[in-house]
Structure 1
Amino acid sequence: MIKLFRKIRRGLLKENQPNRQVGNFNKYLLYAVGEIVLVVIGILLALQINNWNESRKRNIEEEKLLTALTEDFNENKIRLEEAISKEMDMVRMSKSLIKVMQSDQKKIHPDSIRFWVTSGAKSWWKTEFVTGTYDAMVSSGNINILENDKLKRVLSQFSADIDSGFEDHYESMHYLIEMNKISAEMAPALIHGIQREELGVTTDSKDMNLYVQKLLNNEAYLGLLISKTWLETLRIHYQQKLQGYIDEILSICKSELAE
């Protein structure tokens, strides 16, 4: 393109040469000005092409990050939904056990008690989130490649809430450990028949019922169970909040990729 401009400029110089007495000074001055104009045009074109290339590269990189985030948070959505469902079942069974332990009528079938203990009181769930893409973006500084400020804010809130939620996780685990210590001697009576058969545990049915009754009358176990169940209830609310973040992140990513 610069060659074309030079050809045009030289043609104009020839057309403006009928009066050769003007002198070489004006001729060379016009030539110099023309060269400067051509250089400026060349620089501007090069900058424009470079900016276009950089913008294109940035858009491609952003699309890759949005796609990777979508994959990560689709997996997080599946994991969190599964954990919330299991925790709801756990809380429901723990509440059933609490109700029986607080009741004067403790003539519940031992199998029901065992089921509530193993699937409720002794259960503990923790979602392991996939955060590889976001962590890599933050550590490398590539988070700024994302153009959507709302997406960056929600990602930051999600990450912060994950970090702040571990206190309840570990406190709940502490209660579970203490409950297991109390019920250690009753363990053979509290595990399922399949587990007893697999482990070779033999316990007389009469002794099993006595152990179940002993557990139902243990006030320390009840107190720990109530505390753990309350924490698990709070954890469900906390994880439902994270669920809202995940849905919002996926929605924004989908919208950005569609543009």
Structure 2
Amino acid sequence: MTPFFRKIRKHLADANKPIKYLRYAIGEIVLVVIGILIALSINNWNEQRKSRLQEVNILTKLNTDLKANLIEIEGLKDITEKRIKASQTILNYFEEHKAIDDSLKHSFELINNDDLFNNANTTYKYIENQGVNILRNDSIRSKITSMYERHFKNIANRENTNWKILTDDLRPLMDVHLEVSEPQDKNFNEEYALNKPINMETLSENMQFKNVIVRNMNFMLLRLRWQKETLEELDGLIKEVELEIQYLNK
């Protein structure tokens, strides 16, 4: 391409001998500038393409992590709802002086168990190390930071509080007032070992035990509200990231 332009330029310069060399020099400069601009344009296009591919790769991995966290929190929400219902069942049995049955035993087992949030954050840590500006979409960048630094951390903090209530308050009282029976399912697939009150009348009148049940239930109601809010925002973020991936792939 460049030799072709040079031939045209030389021919035009030869048509007017007095300014032949001036035209030739100017033409050389113009050709060099054009060549540099073309090279820069190609280089910028390649860099933008590489950057876009890298961002798509990061967002794809991040979306996988976000979906894993969505499943985790949905599981925690399900457990929280069951524990709230179990707490209310126990309080109803106390209030109505009902006899011990399997429903009550299961309820004692449910309030004594919980799960942990396994935060999938490998890609987010990578983004932190590289700098959040590696993601060009301001909205997504802000929401990702809020999700990991606010929502997920709050879920973890509430888990720590919950486990403190379980280990420091509830379980010591359960060890005194309940006995554990053999599990109905030896493989622990569905039924766990069952907690049975040693003396239902005494337990139902134990204000300390009831207070712990009520306090734990109130805490779980707050925890459930945060889980629901997180799930709603997380679902929206996942959809937004997927749209951004589609846009970058165009």
TM-score grouping bracket, smaller chain normalisation: 0.7 to 0.9
Q: Give the deviation of 1:12 after TM superposition.
A: 1.6
Q: Give the deviation of 1:216 after TM superposition.
A: 2.8
- Conservation of the 8 A alpha-carbon contact between 1:87 and 1:232: yes
Q: Deviations over 1:84-103 (max 9, x none)?
A: 112111111111112223x1
Taking the aligned partners of 2:186 and 2:127, their CA distance within structure 1 comes to 50
Match of 2:174 in 1: 183
Which of 40, 50, 60 matches 2:43? 50
Match of 2:243 in 1: 255
Give 5+ residue unaligned stretches, structure 2. 188-195
Give 5+ residue unaligned stretches, structure 1. 199-207
> In structure 2, do the counterparts of structure 1 residues 195 and 176 end up closer, same or farther at CA, with 3 Å as the change threshold?
farther
Shifted more, 87-96 versus 108-117: the winner is 108-117
1:77-92 matches, within 5 Å, as 77-92=70-85
> In structure 2, do the counterparts of structure 1 residues 76 and 196 end up closer, same or farther at CA, with 3 Å as the change threshold?
closer
- Conservation of the 8 A alpha-carbon contact between 2:69 and 2:120: yes
Return the letter of the residue paired with 1:6.
R
Q: Say whether residues 1:11 and 2:4 are aligned partners.
A: no
Q: How many residues align structurally?
A: 237
Rg: which structure is higher? 1
Taking the aligned partners of 1:255 and 1:114, their CA distance within structure 2 comes to 48
Taking the aligned partners of 1:35 and 1:3, their CA distance within structure 2 comes to 11
Q: Say whether residues 1:136 and 2:126 are aligned partners.
A: yes
Q: Give the deviation of 1:16 after TM superposition.
A: 2.9
Which of 161, 169, 177 matches 1:171? 161
Which of 140, 144, 153 matches 1:155? 144
Taking the aligned partners of 1:166 and 1:62, their CA distance within structure 2 comes to 28
1:162-241 matches, within 5 Å, as 162-177=152-167, 178-187=169-178, 189=179, 191-194=180-183, 210-241=198-229
Task: Give the percent of matched residue pairs that are identical in Structure 1 and Structure 2.
Answer: 27
Which of 104, 111, 115 matches 2:106? 115
Q: Deviations over 1:105-124 (max 9, x none)?
A: 323224332211111x2122
- Conservation of the 8 A alpha-carbon contact between 1:9 and 1:34: yes
> In structure 2, do the counterparts of structure 1 residues 197 and 211 end up closer, same or farther at CA, with 3 Å as the change threshold?
farther
Q: Deviations over 1:138-191 (max 9, x none)?
A: 1221x323222111111111112222344432222221112111221344x2x3
Q: Give the deviation of 1:6 after TM superposition.
A: 1.5
- Conservation of the 8 A alpha-carbon contact between 1:183 and 1:215: no
RMSD after superposition: 2.2
Match of 1:205 in 2: none
- Conservation of the 8 A alpha-carbon contact between 2:55 and 2:135: yes
Match of 2:97 in 1: 106
> In structure 2, do the counterparts of structure 1 residues 192 and 245 end up closer, same or farther at CA, with 3 Å as the change threshold?
farther
Q: Secondary structure at the match of 2:221?
A: helix
Return the letter of the residue paired with 1:5.
F
Q: Deviations over 1:17-70 (max 9, x none)?
A: 4xxxx3xxx332222111111111111111111110111001111111121122
Return the letter of the residue paired with 2:164.
H
Taking the aligned partners of 2:68 and 2:121, their CA distance within structure 1 comes to 10
Q: Which has the higher helix share?
A: 1
Taking the aligned partners of 1:147 and 1:232, their CA distance within structure 2 comes to 38
- Conservation of the 8 A alpha-carbon contact between 1:91 and 1:233: yes
Taking the aligned partners of 2:45 and 2:31, their CA distance within structure 1 comes to 21
Match of 1:145 in 2: 134
Q: Give the deviation of 1:196 after TM superposition.
A: 11
